[in-house]
Structure 1
Amino acid sequence: MQSYLIKNAKIVNENKVFTGDVLIEDRYIKQIATNIEATTATIINAEGKYLIPGMIDDQVHFREPGLTHKANIATESKAAIAGGITSFIEMPNTVPQATTQELLEEKFEVARKTSYANYSFMFGGTNDNLEELLKTDSKNVAGIKLFLGSSTGNMLVDNEDVLEKIFSSTKLLISVHCEDEATIRKNTEEYKAKYGDDIPVKYHPIIRSEEACYLSSSKAIELAKKTGARLHIFHLSTEKETHLFRNDIPLEEKQITAEVCVHHLWFTDADYDVKGTHIKWNPAVKTQKDKDGLWKALLDDRIDVIATDHAPHTLEEKDNVYTKAPSGGPLVQHAVTAVLEKVKEGVLPIEKAVEKMCHNPAKLFSVEKRGFIKEGFFADLVIVDPAQNWEVSKENILYKCGWSPFEGQKFSNKITHTFVNGNLMYNEGEFNEEIKGERLVFNR
């Protein structure tokens, strides 16, 4: 393998920023020091640029198998590495759903052949697959995913006895989508009675309301406390929910953790007038008060992780009336850049951004030797130019679906290089398509 020496970078790691060099050899970080000499290594001068660990995105939907007209593992992992995401955890609501061990391993095999980033998958829990769920290998599978509110793929788990059995029976991390289905159905029927199928999208956060989110999240937390389950709640979208979580103990001691996604930190319900169904997500983008509350909880450590919930659909699908337009949008290419834009705006320190995107997902899922810039760890690294201006446009979007909710957005930082397992996979717009990522391993 080729070795690389990154010189004069502003290294961001474990709540510190310092200038130094990083030597990469044989997939790993060999040395970190103020001045390294390595005559055989390819030198990359990163003066004035940040060097951060690759983001570990704990929630993506790459649509393979069965939905590959929207996306596939190859296209979306390529967009991810261009966006500084070096590892991802993909969700089970594909076609067929990953609800048996055999189907789960088929997804791993596709990723082995086609993914440019490192990968793992969630096993999907249902109302009737507990026996199969309990076969899940904790060292080789990221965890269990349960939909407590219906979303794309219709994997709703709504049997309370089954839920308690799942929570009581596994030590694996259980990740949940929390929205109360009865509340959503009631609200949907009320608005359909008034508008038919063409409900103005601005009512999406009222239909999939704060009440629906809080009711479901609080029930899940109550059940986790009762059973001792390890619970991780995906994509918080309301200020009210943030008060369900603790910040008085270290992450390593938490049994109940929380994630926020980039779109809930960036958009509000004021954006529906312009963006329409292109920012229709489940849970919904809500109010400025909710957005402010999510930022506050992220900064004070009630929220532990930033993710994307990357979930592409075609424009033809999204440009439908409300009831027919699916929820979700593509984000992996632009998420890190969007968070770093907030760093430049003074909303959060870069050390905190790296903690939430890189360190904490590695800790929370016990990912082996990733998520940090440490000697002996895999060289999953990203170089960011904090002074390069660019605009998101159709011409530079890499998603198979060909669009982004960030189109027209001007950013003032840009990812220039991405290393995956010591391989320079992305270099100033050029990709190394010969090498693939690796299956994540978990220290459990």
Structure 2
Amino acid sequence: MGCTVIKGASIINEGKIFKRDLLIENEIIKTIAKDIKVPRSATVIKAKGKFLIPGAIDDQVHFREPGLTHKANIATESKAAAAGGITSFIEMPNTVPQATTQDLLEDKFTIASKDSYVNYSFMFGGTNDNLEELLKTDPKKVAGIKLFLGSSTGNMLVDNPEVLEKIFSSTDMVISVHCEDEQTIKDNFQKALDQYGEEIPIAQHPIIRSAEACYLSSSKAIELAKKTGARLHVFHLSTAIETELFRNDIPLKDKKITAEVCVHHLNFNSDDYAKKGTFIKWNPAVKTKNDQGALWKALLDDRIDVIATDHAPHTLEEKQNNYTKAPSGGPLVQHALPAMLNFVDQGKITIEKVVEKMCHNPAILFEIEKRGYVKEGYYADLVLIDPEKKWTVTKDNILYKCRWSPFEGTTFNNSITHTFVNGNLIYDNGVFNEENKGKRITFNR
């Protein structure tokens, strides 16, 4: 692999910005210093005027493989992730078949070992009847447990209270949950159906999948976690009221209950349905401006710990259906970091905070080994950003297999120019290294 020297970058790490050179040797960050003497055989990247950050870690994606590869696959979506500065992902179990046995889970790891451009892990999926299999999950080799407490696919809705308590009581692994109360949603949907018939307006989505549905489910999950001592992580908060359930008075490493917000809930609100339609149909729904503002407040005051994508592509044909038939979800990994950096330009968040929430905190939360930081001895998962190179999202530069994005037409004020994964330059100004692949993430547990 040889070595690479990155010269003169402004490194962003642990709340500080400092200009240094960085030496990559094989897979590892070997040296960070003011003026590194370039070894004779080294590749040199001149990075004056650019930011160098740790590769982002996306703790929630749906890459659709196996079984749903008409929408996406691990190769296409991990390639898009690399272009977007995401060097590690954690993928969800609701594929076909679902990753609800250890053998099926390992099948996904095998696919990723051959096809993923970036580092990877997968969550084991809990159901009402697979506790014995769930408890076989190796905490050093698997990211965690995923439970659907609403909006599940197949048989993955875990709605048996006794089973839930057993799961929460039986594992020390991170239990990540999707929280929406199914009965509330069903009742709201029936009201909309009675009023509008099959032509329910998209603007009804946050009313059907209401704040009440979210809060009812998430508050119950948190109550159960407190009762059992479980390590709970609540995915994709979308409401103001839910943010009040979380604390910011202790360090992340000491928290037993944590929270995530997704890029789309920070970028869009219910006013945007008129223009974006079903292209911003997600579960949980994009909600009001007030909810959006409360999410930002909780993110900045550290009640919300992580920014993720919930990347969940569907085909353009599927998304162009009317409200009742269009599936929820959308592709985001290529554009999430640029979108957050646009907020930096607007003064809404600092770049140091973006790095904290997208790089450091996922590593802390999931106890990921030697990733998420720019540190000597850590894997060289690194991203170079040109803060002054603007570009506009068009169909021609979208890398997702589905070939659409809710950000189409958006101009970003920054460009990701280089992405390193385990010391390999995977992405270089639009050109991909097709030879090297990512590694299985391991965990300090």
Alignment of 1:30-49 (within 5 A): 30-39=30-39, 40-49=41-50
* Of 248-257 and 143-152, the range deviating more from structure 2: 143-152
Deviation at 1:153, TM superposition (A): 4.8
Give 1:411's aligned amino acid: F
**Residue in 2 that maps onto 1:4:** 4
AA in 1 matched with 2:5: L
Q: Could you tell me which residue of structure 2 aligns to residue 146 of structure 1?
A: 147
Letter of the 2:4 counterpart: Y
Displacement, 1:167? 0.3
Instruction: Classify the secondary structure of the residue corresponding to 2:363.
Output: helix
Tell me the distance in 2 between the aligned counterparts of 1:323 and 1:102.
Answer: 35
1:261 aligns with 2:265: no
Deviation at 1:38, TM superposition (A): 1.7
Partner of 2:15: 15
Query: 2: distance between equivalents of 1:76 and 1:197?
Result: 33
Alpha carbons 1:94, 1:153 under 8 Å: kept: no
Q: How does 1:20-419 map to 2 (within 5 A)?
A: 20-39=20-39, 40-153=41-154, 155-419=156-420
Counterpart Cα distance in 2 of 1:153 and 1:427: 40
> Structure 1: how far apart are the matches of 2:155 and 2:286?
21
Counterpart CA distance in 1 for 2:154 and 2:95 is: 7
Q: Which amino acid aligns with 1:374?
A: K
**Shift in Å, 1:152:** 4.6
Question: Would you say the 8 A contact 1:197–1:324 is kept in 2?
Answer: no
Kindly state the Cα deviation for residue 390 of structure 1 after the two structures are TM-superposed.
0.6
Give the secondary structure class of the aligned counterpart of 2:324.
Answer: helix
Residues in 1 aligned to 2:155 and 2:192: alpha-carbon distance in whole angstroms: 21
Q: How far apart, CA to CA, are the structure 1 residues paired with 2:99 and 2:233? A: 19
C-alpha distance in 2 between matches for 1:127 and 1:116: 34
In 1, the alpha carbon distance for the partners of 2:153 and 2:428 equals 34
Q: Cα RMSD between the aligned structures?
A: 0.7
**Does structure 1 retain, via aligned residues, the 8 Å contact 2:127–2:155?**
no
Q: Which whole-Å CA distance do the structure 2 matches of 1:211 and 1:148 have between them?
A: 14
Long gaps (5+) in structure 2? none
Matched, 1:442 2:420: no
Other structure's SS at 2:29 match? strand
How big is each residue's C-alpha offset from its partner over 1:63-106, in whole Å with a ceiling of 9 and x where there is no partner?
Answer: 00000000000000000000000000000000000000000000
Distance between the aligned counterparts of 2:180 and 2:403, measured in 1?
29
**Could you give the per-residue CA deviations for residues 6-30 of structure 1, whole angstroms, max 9, x where no partner exists?**
0110100000001111100010000
CA positional deviation for 1:154:
5.3
Do the aligned residues in 2 keep the contact of 1:21 with 1:36 (CA within 8 Å)?
yes
Q: Do the aligned partners of 1:148 and 1:216 also contact (CA within 8 Å) in 2?
A: yes
- 1:193 Cα offset (Å): 1.1
Alpha-carbon displacement from aligned partner over 1:251-308 (angstroms, at most 9, x marks no partner): 0110000000000000000110111000000000001111110010000000000000
Q: CA deviation at 1:323?
A: 1.2
Do the aligned partners of 1:152 and 1:327 also contact (CA within 8 Å) in 2? no
> Separation in 2 of the partners of 1:419 and 1:314?
29
Q: Is the 8 A contact 2:9 2:21 kept in 1?
A: yes
Q: Find the aligned partners of 1:98 and 1:141 in 2 and give their Cα distance.
A: 12
CA distance in 1, matches of 2:394, 2:156: 34
Structure 1 218/437 Cα, relative in aligned 2: closer, same or farther at 3 Å? same
What's the secondary structure of 1:182's corresponding residue?
Answer: helix
Q: Is the 8 A contact 2:236 2:262 kept in 1?
A: yes
Amino acid paired to 2:369: E
Give 1:206's aligned amino acid. Answer: I
The answer on whether the counterparts of 1:358 and 1:372 sit within 8 Å (CA) in structure 2 is: yes
Deviations 1:26-82 (A, max 9, x none): 100000011111232111111111000000000000000000000000000000000
Secondary structure of 1:323's partner?
Answer: coil
Q: TM-score, normalised by structure 2?
A: 0.99
1:195 positional shift: 1.3
Number of paired residues?
Answer: 444
Q: Which amino acid in 2 is paired with 1:184?
A: I
SS of residue in 1 equivalent to 2:12: strand
Residue by residue over 1:207-238, the C-alpha shift from the partner in whole angstroms, topping out at 9 and shown as x without a partner, is 00000001101000000000000000000001
Q: Which runs of 5+ in 1 are unaligned?
A: none
Counterparts of 2:174 and 2:321, CA distance in 1: 36
CA distance in 2, matches of 1:307, 1:49: 24
Q: Distance in 1 between matches of 2:315 and 2:156?
A: 21
CA distance in structure 2 between the aligned counterparts of 1:197 and 1:285, rounded to whole angstroms: 21
TM-score by length of 1: 0.99
